[in-house]
Chains A and B, each alone.
Chain A
Amino acid sequence: MQQRARTPVQDWTTDWDHLDPQWIEDPYPIWADLRQKCPIAHTERFNGVYLPTRYADVRAVAYDTDHFSSRRTAIRETHHESGGGAPPITSDPPKHRLARMVLLPPFTPKAIAALEPKARRICNQLIDAFIDKGSFDGAVDYAQHIPVRVIAHLLGVPEDDGDLFRDWINAVLNEGITDYERMMRGLVEMTDYFRPLMEQRRKHPGDDLISYLVKQTYPDGSPFKDNHVLGSVRLMLIAGIDTTWSGIGSCVWHLATHADDRRRLVADPSLMPTAIEEFLRAYAPVTMAREVKQETEINGCRFKQGEMVLLSFPAANRDPEMFPDADKVIIDRKENRHAAFGLGIHRCIGSNLARMELTVAVEELLKRMPEFGIGGEVTWSEGTVRGPRKLPLKIG
């Protein structure tokens, strides 16, 4: 990631910056402070962005699709018109519904359960590679590989090709921000890779996601266009990889830094479901954005048309009004309406898949390696997907 010199933040209520080193290192105290002083903060940076930090306000923005559009879901220094977007994540009603419906059936809990044995094998193969070494990187050697291999399996392509996916995603999401050529090259490579596969699956369908998508039809009965199928596959890669990698990484980080919770989970695996939900709440990886489509007011704050809103599900999840002891990780928390997968019509389509991957990744690691701890300097991602990017661990 490019590290540009940024003007240090003077006042978080009027000049916040989610790329500031302090935010990247530890954003939670910043949000706690804002919730008290100024629950909807603003910055002139990035051409004007609002930042609600209370659960109720995040929820209000997510639900109000009349005033807040998903046309732009990222905060950028400069405003590019993105051609076509990536439905359904960039769609508003009424178009959103149809784009979403077609993607839901392959991601139901039942469909995802069928992938679980494969996910367990993937985790164990990864663990095999480092368990005898005495140390490993929980982000680089473990978490990073799980979602790409699972998605490769879902698409019915060789697991090793997952490394190609990571490269394209990096080209599109990261380097593409400053390097247009690089982004286009990534897109072309992706298209060249998937187009022949679509042709092949039309002729010889399997039970993979590409076969499912190529047989879908529009309401008039005509088959989905190639570009539509490609767009959906691209969205899966963009939405399903960094997010899940970060989620798994944060779980592993917590278990490495909280021996009491780790030992409790090893002793009583029935706590796993509430623990995973609690990790998702406390370390929610994904922050989205909305564009103010029409001026409106929430909680006494006016939202000016054309400006953006940083939709911080992670901040909502730390609101003590919604979650008692919000900054404490309580692995048997009973009541947990966390918003890690969003709220309202854009609820994460991959949430069942992501939960399964997080659960399997933690379970298999703890089974093989009940004792581990931090073995070096940990670094965190910058931007709107939060998770550890270097997580050196020592085993035992």
Chain B
Amino acid sequence: MADPKRLKIRVDPDKCQGHNRCKAVAPELFVLDDYGNAREAGDGTVPAGMEDKAYLAKSNCPEFAVEIIED
């Protein structure tokens, strides 16, 4: 699964319901607001070596709110 391409993640704020699964599996890639809803950290760029975690976050979000964009 480790992809040499650069990945970007994005949380769709309309879908996110704050299950907090993304933050639990990939704490470096997400930030939570005061209500416990998630956003991508920074501009969403996934640092090299963290690609697997990004996919893990996506595949554990029950609301299908995590998107991964491959450059």
- Return the contact of B19 from the options A104, A273, A341 (Cβ within 8 A): A341
Is A329 at the interface (CB under 8 A from chain B)?
no
A105-B35, A110-B32 known; A351-B60 Cβ under 8 A: no
Alpha-carbon distance between A351 and B24 when the two chains are bound, in angstroms: 13
Looking at the assembled complex, report how far the CB atom of B37 sits from the nearest CB atom of chain A, in whole angstroms. Answer: 8
Is A267 at the interface (CB under 8 A from chain B)?
no
Alpha-carbon distance between A117 and B32 when the two chains are bound, in angstroms: 22
Closest residue of chain B to A63 (Cβ to Cβ) is B63
Q: Which chain B residues (8-22) contact chain A, with CB distance < 8 Å?
A: 17-21
Looking at the assembled complex, report how far the CB atom of A130 sits from the nearest CB atom of chain B, in whole angstroms. Answer: 31
Chain A residues lying within 8 Å of B24, measured Cβ to Cβ, are 109, 273
A336-B60, A337-B59 known; A344-B32 Cβ under 8 A: no
Is B62 at the interface (CB under 8 A from chain A)?
yes
Binding site secondary structure of chain A: loop
A335-B60, A337-B59, A338-B62 known; A105-B19 Cβ under 8 A: no
Closest residue of chain A to B16 (Cβ to Cβ) is A347
Q: Is B36 in contact with A109, judged by CB distance below 8 angstroms? A: yes
Q: Is B17 in contact with A345, judged by CB distance below 8 angstroms? A: yes
Closest residue of chain A to B62 (Cβ to Cβ) is A337
- Tally chain B residues at the interface, Cβ within 8 Å: 19
Is B23 at the interface (CB under 8 A from chain A)?
yes
Q: Is B62 in contact with A104, judged by CB distance below 8 angstroms? A: no
Alpha-carbon distance between A59 and B13 when the two chains are bound, in angstroms: 18
Q: Which chain A residues (340-372) contact chain B, with CB distance < 8 Å?
A: 341, 343-345, 347, 351-352
Is B50 at the interface (CB under 8 A from chain A)?
no
Q: Is A108 in contact with B60, judged by CB distance below 8 angstroms? A: no
Alpha-carbon distance between A339 and B60 when the two chains are bound, in angstroms: 11
Q: Is B35 in contact with A104, judged by CB distance below 8 angstroms? A: yes
Q: Which chain B residues (52-71) contact chain A, with CB distance < 8 Å?
A: 56, 59-64
Looking at the assembled complex, report how far the CB atom of A124 sits from the nearest CB atom of chain B, in whole angstroms. Answer: 24
Alpha-carbon distance between A336 and B21 when the two chains are bound, in angstroms: 10
Q: Is A351 in contact with B20, judged by CB distance below 8 angstroms? A: yes
Chain B residues lying within 8 Å of A110, measured Cβ to Cβ, are 32
Alpha-carbon distance between A209 and B61 when the two chains are bound, in angstroms: 28
Is B43 at the interface (CB under 8 A from chain A)?
no
Chain A residues lying within 8 Å of B20, measured Cβ to Cβ, are 109, 351-352
Closest 9 CB pairs between A and B?
A347-B17, A108-B36, A335-B59, A104-B35, A337-B62, A105-B34, A104-B36, A336-B60, A109-B20
Task: Give the interface of B toward A (CB within 8 A).
Answer: 17-21, 23-25, 32, 34-36, 56, 59-64
19 residue pairs A–B, Cβ–Cβ below 8 Å? A101-B35, A104-B34, A105-B34, A108-B34, A109-B23, A109-B32, A109-B36, A277-B60, A334-B56, A336-B59, A336-B60, A341-B62, A343-B63, A345-B17, A347-B17, A347-B18, A347-B19, A351-B19, A352-B20
Task: Give the interface of A toward B (CB within 8 A).
Answer: 101, 104-105, 107-110, 273, 277, 334-339, 341, 343-345, 347, 351-352
New contact pairs (13) apart from A104-B35, A109-B24, CB-CB < 8 Å: A104-B34, A108-B36, A110-B32, A273-B25, A337-B62, A337-B64, A338-B62, A341-B19, A343-B17, A345-B17, A347-B18, A347-B63, A352-B20
